[in-house]
Structure 1
Amino acid sequence: MTLYVGVIIYLNQWFGKIAARNVNAYYLAERKIPGWVVSLAFFSTFISTSTYIGQAGESFRFGFSWVYVGLIWVLFCIISWLFLGPRMRAQSVRLKSVTVPDYFHLRYQSDLSRVIRVLSSLIILFATMWYMTGIAKGGANLLSVVLEMPYWLGAFFLIFFTCAYTVIGGMYGVMWTDAVQGILMLIVAAMMVVIPFVYVGGWDPMFEKLSNLSHPGPNGEPLGNDLLEFGKTTTFAYILAIGFSIGMKQISDPKLIIRFYSIKNKKDMRFAMIWTPIFLGLSLLAVMSVGALVHTMVTPEQAIGLMEDSDETVGLMFKIFDNPLLTGIAMMGLFAAGMSSLASVTLIAGTSIVKDIWQMWKPMTDRATVLNTKFSMVAYCIVVYLFTLDPPAGVVEMSSFAGSVFAASFFPTIFGGLYFRWGTDLGALASMIAGMIVNSVWRFGIRFSVPGMENIHEVFPAFAISLLVYVIVSKMTAKRKPDEKHLDVVFGK
């Protein structure tokens, strides 16, 4: 871990000198990042500790059915790179866009564009708070279980070390360190799935134990072979809900969309288009199976505890296996998973505060913009840390809620901007507001209060209504679409 920290510090000091040139360098790495780096960075940013800790732990509760969540994510990855990546890069270059909110501003050019830009920035800050808290909680739990470090100290180290190197390196540092972290994460995914097999003595003993488990399941009854059969321990609706709410971040989350801005050229885009789903699929196939395999390593008493708090599953697995070298390598990779996502969202939060809110009222020089972005990132991380000390939900639920907010609030506006000339500013604004309202009302007022609604995730009603609102309002306000000359610039005609 010390070696890893040293490498990350060195990389960010090196790239920090380049990133300090101007806003374009600090925010977008001057659009000069090779395809293989972007591919690994996209993969490592999307699946953080919320996956390696939270989702791996969920398969302890729900068995191999949970692998289907990962397959849904891979499908969205393919959709993102096929239908969003090339167009988003091309349009962002033509419009000279450097953030996702300023893409909305420039694409839906009107007297309401500034309002859309500020509102989208506020949505980013809200959803990002939930997501960063989930990542920090997962990493802090791991340190607490494996190294017996106090939870507050683990969260502090994870958040503020990541904040420090992000402040130094900007987008250059974030992208290249994410690539290094992606390689480590692929190695750790393979280690995680192999450890239970080594512990129990191979393939046959593993599945013999899994076929006759006496551990109580979610309903309190012995599991038997339920972990091996699809849908025995959870509903198909819940698998779809988590698969869609988190998977759709790949087509709506600014920290992932901004990756398309930075890629070098069309050749690099094609490379990333092919390899990103492969990196993602290989890692998820391993990680989403781990929790189920850990049943063969724990006692019935430990299993009861993990059913109540599955976020501790991976940490307990390494503690039971008790190999300091492998645990050290795994901890390095798991911290890489958390840091890769924290770094990206920290940068997005800072750019949203300064470029998309502050500068709307107070124009700044490039130097002042970069400096204020750094201060804003530190301030935002302090707020996230305080939120992490008493998190409102588990890792998976916080991550899925953030994904639902992004999907419902941003996807119609992004997709409509990329493909539909008839999309209007009022359609975009109404869609964002509808997505936020339905997400919040459904989660905090309906889902856990109305009997039978717990498995109906907020992503479904929020996304459907938001998309419908975008289409209806845009059609009703057709006269507000930008003029044809501007649309020709947007669509490259």
Structure 2
Amino acid sequence: MVVYLILLITFGWYLQRQASKTVGEYYVANRRIPGWVVSLAFFSTFVSTNTYIGQAGESFRYGLSWTWVGVFWAVFCIISWQILGPRMRNQSIRLKSFTVPDYFQLRYQSQLSRSIRVLSAVIILFATVWYMTGIAKGCAHLLHTLLDIPYAYGAAFMLFFTCFYTIAGGMYGIMWTDAVQGILMFIVAIVMISLPFVYVGGYDVLMAKIALVDHVSKKGTPIGNGLVTFGQLTSFTYIVGIGLSIGMKQISEPKLLIRFYTVKDKAGMKFAMTWTPIFMGVSLVCVMGLGALVHGMVTTEEAAQLINNTDEVVGFMLKKFNNPLISGICLMGLFAAGMAALASVTLVVGTTLVKDMWNVWKPMPTERIIPRTKVVMLLYCVIVYYFTIFPPADVVELSAFAGSVYVASFFPTIFGGLYFRWGTDLGAIASMVAGIVVNIIWRFGVRTRYESLGDIHEVFPAFIASFIAYVLVSKLTAQRKPSPDHLTTVFGTEPTVDYVKG
């Protein structure tokens, strides 16, 4: 762990010389990142500790059925790179866009486009708090379980160490360290899935043990063969809800979409389009059902405690396996997962607050943008730390709610911007407002009040309302669509040349 942290510090220090020259370099690495680096960085940023700890632990409660959540994620990874990636890269170059909110302003050019930019920035800040809280919470539990580090200290270390190397390296530092972390995470996923089999003595022995257990579910009823029976411990509706709300972040979340901005050339884009889903799919197969396998390692009393604290399952597994070398390797990979996601989100927060809110409200000299971005990143981490100390939900629910907000608020506006020439500024605003309002109402006013609707995730009604609002309002305000000349700039009349070639 010490060697790993020293390497990260050294990497961030080395890359800060390139990262601090211009806004383009600090925000999007001057669009010069090789495809293989972007591919690994996309994978490591999306598959964070929310997956390696939260989702892996959740299958302890819901069994191997939970692996289907990973199937949805892999499908949306393919959709993201095949449908959004190339167009997002090309349009961001044509419009000289550095952030997702400024893409909205530049794409939906009108008197209201500044309002779209600010509204999207507010949504990003709202959703990001819950997502970052989930990551820090998962890593803090891991440190407490394995190393007996107090929860508050572990959360502080995770948040502020990541913040400092993000401040130092900017997008250059994030992309290259994320690529290294992606390699570590891929290896650790394979290592972790093997531990329950090694512990009990092989595949046949473990599968026989989890096929029929005397452990009880969260509701207090016997699990029996529920771990290996599809849909017995949770409804398919809930699986689909989590699968969509988190998986669809790949087609709507700024920290992932900004990856498309950084790709160096078309060859790099083709590499990433092919290999990112492979990295994603293999790791998810290893991780998503891990918790169910841990049932074969625990006693009835231990299972009763873990069923209500699934964020602690992975840490407990490593402690039970009791091999310091293996634990150290896995801990390194799990921290890599958390840091990769936190670093990317932290930079998005900084760019959003400074470039898409502060600079829009009161334009500032270019030379002040980067220093102010660094300051607000640190301040935002302080806010997230408070929520981590007093978390409002577990890791999976925090991540799923944040994902649902992104999906419903942004995807119709992004997809419409990339593909629909008839999309309008009012359509974009209506879509964002509908998405976040329905999300909040359904999450806090419907699911908690009506038990029969508890498994219907807010992503379903929120996304439907958002997409209908975008299409309906855009069609009713067709006269507000941008001018033909601007649409020609956005969509182009011929393929975009490679950025590095001019």
TM-score, with length taken from structure 1: 0.99
Aligned to 1:180: 180
Separation (CA, whole Å) in 1 of partners of 2:235 and 2:448: 16
Partner of 1:30: 30
Tell me the amino acid that sits aligned with residue 9 of structure 1: I
Q: Deviations over 1:340-378 (max 9, x none)?
A: 000000000000000000001222233200000000100
Deviations 1:380-421 (A, max 9, x none): 001100111000000000000000000000000000000000
* Corresponding residue number in structure 2 for 1:329: 329
Inter-partner Cα distance in structure 1 for 2:224 and 2:197:
19
Secondary structure of 1:142's match? helix
Q: Which residue of 1 aligns with 2:87?
A: 87
Q: 2:120 corresponds to which residue?
A: 120
* Cross-structure match for 1:69: 69
The whole-number CA distance in structure 1 between the counterparts of 2:194 and 2:465 is: 43
In structure 2, the residue matched to 1:316 is 316
Cα distance, 1:170 vs structure 2: 0.1
Q: Is the 8 A contact 1:218 1:233 kept in 2?
A: no
Give the 5 Å matches for 1:430-441.
430-441=430-441
Shift of 1:104: 0.1
Cα shift readout 1:231-258 (whole Å, capped 9, x = no counterpart): 1111000000000000000000000000
Tell me what 1:157 maps to.
157
Kindly state the Cα deviation for residue 458 of structure 1 after the two structures are TM-superposed.
0.4
Question: Tell me, what secondary structure is at the counterpart of 2:21?
Answer: coil
2:63 partner letter: G
2-side partners of 1:169 and 1:152: how far apart?
26
The DSSP-based 3-state class of the residue aligned with 1:98 is: coil
Q: Deviations over 1:436-479 (max 9, x none)?
A: 10000110111111221110100000000000000000000000
Deviation at 1:221, TM superposition (A): 2.5
2:341 corresponds in structure 1 to 341
Partner SS for 1:215: strand
Counterparts of 1:376 and 1:457, CA distance in 2: 33
Inter-partner Cα distance in structure 2 for 1:380 and 1:274: 35
Correspondence for 2:498: none
Matches within 5 A, 1:458-469: 458-469=458-469
Q: Structure 2 matches for 1:121-140, cutoff 5 A?
A: 121-140=121-140
Task: Tell me the equivalent position of 1:240.
Answer: 240
Alignment-derived partner of residue 56 in structure 2: 56
Residues 16-59 of structure 1 show CA distances to partners (whole Å, capped at 9, x for unaligned) of 10011100000000000000000000000001010000000011
AA at the equivalent of 2:459: V
Please state whether the residue corresponding to 2:297 is helix, strand or coil: coil
Structure 1 SS opposite 2:218? coil
State the match for 1:227 in structure 2.
227
1:292 corresponds in structure 2 to: 292
Aligned-partner Cα distance in 2 for 1:219–1:122: 38
Partner-residue secondary structure (3-state), 1:308: coil
Provide the C-alpha distance between the structure 1 equivalents of 2:98 and 2:208, rounded to a whole number of angstroms: 54
What do the CA deviations read for 1:129-164 (whole angstroms, capped 9, x no partner)? 000000000000111111111100000000000000
> What displacement does 1:218 show?
3.3
The alignment partner of 1:219 has SS state of coil
| Structure 1 unmatched ranges of 5 or more | none
Partner of 1:302: 302
The secondary structure found in structure 1 opposite 2:214 is: strand
Which residue of structure 1 aligns with residue 145 of structure 2?
Answer: 145
Matches within 5 A, 1:270-419: 270-419=270-419
SS at match of 2:215: strand
Paired AA for residue 232 in structure 1:
Q
2:499 — aligned with what? Answer: none
> Structure 1 residue 208: deviation in Å?
1.1
1:172-201 Cα deviation digits (max 9, x unpaired): 000000001000001110111000000000
TM-score normalised by length of structure 2: 0.98
CA distance, structure 2, for counterparts of residue 457 and residue 289 of structure 1: 21
Cα distance in 2 for residues equivalent to 1:448 and 1:193:
35
CA separation in 2, counterparts of 1:226 and 1:119? 45
Task: Return 5+ residue gaps in structure 2 as ranges.
Answer: 494-502
Residue 226 of structure 1 aligns with an amino acid whose one-letter code is G
Letter of the 1:55 counterpart: Q
For residues 156 and 361 of structure 2, the distance between their equivalents in structure 1, rounded to whole angstroms, comes to 33
Q: Which residue identity lines up with residue 143 of structure 1 in the other structure?
A: L
Counterpart CA distance in 1 for 2:417 and 2:259 is 18
Question: Which residue does 2:456 correspond to in 1?
Answer: 456
1:219 Cα deviation from its structure 2 partner = 3.4
Q: Distance in 1 between matches of 2:363 and 2:317?
A: 52
Return the alpha-carbon distance in structure 2 between the equivalents of residues 18 and 138 of structure 1: 32
Runs of 4+ with deviation above 4 angstroms:
none
CA deviations over 1:98-119 (Å, ceiling 9, x no partner)? 0000000000000000000001
Q: Does the 8 A contact of 1:162 with 1:343 survive in 2?
A: yes
CA deviation string 1:243-274 (max 9, x = no partner): 00000000000000000000011110000000
Q: What letter is aligned with 2:476?
A: M
Deviations 1:301-352 (A, max 9, x none): 1101111111000000001111001101111110000000000000000000
Q: Which amino acid aligns with 1:298?
A: V
Letter in 2 for 1:421: R
Deviations 1:256-303 (A, max 9, x none): 000000001111000000000000000000001210110011111110
Q: Shift in Å at residue 212 of structure 1?
A: 2.1
Letter in 1 for 2:98: V
User: What is the DSSP-based 3-state SS (H/G/I as helix, E as strand, rest coil) of the residue aligned with 1:296?
Assistant: helix
Q: One-letter code of the match for 2:442?
A: W
* Structure 1 residue 63, shift from structure 2 partner: 0.9
- Cα distance, 1:211 vs structure 2: 1.5
1:223 alignment partner, SS class: strand
